[in-house]
Structure 1
Amino acid sequence: MTKVLVLYYSAYGHIETMAYAVAEGAKSSGAEAVVKRVPETVSEDRAKAHHFKLDQPAPVATPEELAEYDAIIVGAGTRFGTVASQMRSFWEHTGGLWMAGKLVGKIGSAFTSSGTQHGGQESTLLGFIPTFLHHGMVVAGLPYSFSGQTGVEEVKGGSPYGASTIAGGDGSRKPSVVEVEAAKFQGRHVAVLAAKLRG
């Protein structure tokens, strides 16, 4: 059975919601999908002071276990046009996997969020692709066969680089129906590709 890891970091719950939608999409293809998160690097006191969502049941992943999966779908919010440092820190501990070529040939894909409509979503997703490529991974995005990303009838995330959501400047906006559907579509798309690569 194809194994997909949805690996996320979510300070306020938006990416967490998207992560479970991605996993649901992967499971709909018949894959085994596991949702895990990366360690928090902010102190608990500081996280509470900034109203982080601390009640996230997903277990914390270790870099070593990435090798167990056929596909890794990474989700993290945008911070000044690039991926949140918690996710970046996690991948900076994957040197051993890189040296041993443990991720070569696996699928890599990403999704994100930002506070505003043009808050760096595409630069965050594009900026993570080199990490996948350095590991020898095959990159997958959100193809235009998901037509939900093409309309202009509402404010929404999503691009061919990956699913995304817009949280609003105060974080009050939750992932919309079309954004959640984009996440599901991406999860299924990646799982199907991973299954084909497994042969």
Structure 2
Amino acid sequence: MKIYVVFYSMYGHTYRMAEAVAEGARSVKGAQVVLKRVPETLSNEILHKMGAVEPQKAFAHIPVCHIEELGEADAIIFGTPTRFGNMCGQMRQFLDSAGKLWLSGKLIGKVGSVFCSSNTQHGGQEATILTFMVSLLHLGMVIVGLPYSFTGQMVVDEVSGCSPYGASTIAGGAGERMPTENELAGARFQGKHVATLTAKLIR
């Protein structure tokens, strides 16, 4: 059972969540988990101006995903930063190149799931995951979210991401906030949940 965790991260928040998602998926017997990042579309000059080059060195060792590789997976868990309530441009461009996979039906019946990060608590986390799922439905994927059996999404004593649509984290206005243990727990839960359901579908 092959599970891909495919993400884009500019400052490391989504990458940290992707690691937790992968960790959760690996806890399921028989899961072969592959962590991949989507291609960068911005120049190094722009990334320097945005202060993103140094943070990106932390995950430079993660291989870049090629769109046709998605057809090899039994499940794909996507991670993206929020851009105005939608996925980031890098992820959008990556998915926009999936025409051959759509035409051949290579992703039909495979499990798809989404997690994300946003700058603020109400910065479009849920909208980003929901609008992302529209693309996955067009590709014929079976959508899996983050069920309420992960009780961490119901906390009221702290500011926290995560919803029934998928795990999420809040980066803060200047990106100063990294994922909390509760948010990472949600990511691990989602990874394990996806792997568990994928195993059942395969059987």
Q: TM bucket by the smaller chain?
A: over 0.9
What is residue 14 of structure 2 aligned with on the other side? Answer: 15
How many pairs are equivalent? 198
Aligned to 2:49: 49
Asked if residue 101 in structure 1 is aligned to residue 105 in structure 2, the reply is: yes
Give the corresponding residue for 1:187: 191
Cα separation, 1, equivalents of 2:48 and 2:145: 34
Asked if structure 1 preserves the Cα contact closer than 8 Å seen for 2:14 and 2:81, the reply is yes
Q: CA RMSD in A?
A: 0.6
Deviation digits for residues 17-52 of structure 1 (CA, Å, limit 9, x no counterpart): 000100000000121111000001010111012111
Find the residue that maps to 2:106 and give its secondary structure: coil
Quick one: which amino acid aligns to residue 84 of structure 1? C
- Paired residues of 2:87 and 2:128 also in contact (CA < 8 A): yes
- 1:4 and 1:95 map into 2 onto residues whose CA distance is 21
2:74 maps to 70
CA offsets per residue over residues 65-92 of structure 1, 9 Å max, x none?
0010000000000001100010010000
TM-score, normalization: structure 2?
0.96
The separation in 2 between residues aligned to 1:131 and 1:76, in whole angstroms, is: 14
Residue 120 of structure 1 is matched in structure 2 by 124
TM-score of the superposition, structure 1-length normalised? 0.98
Aligned equivalent of 1:160:
164
Task: List gaps (5 residues or longer) in structure 2.
Answer: none
Deviation >3 Å, runs of 4+: none
Shift in Å, 1:130: 1.0
SS class of match (2:80): strand
CA deviations 1:157-198 (Å, max 9, x no partner) are 000000000000000000000000000000000001111111
Pair 1:60 & 2:60 matched: no
Identity of aligned residues (%): 56
Larger CA deviation: 42-51 vs 159-168: 42-51
For 1:143, the equivalent position in structure 2 comes to 147
In structure 1, list runs of 5 or more residues that go unmatched.
none
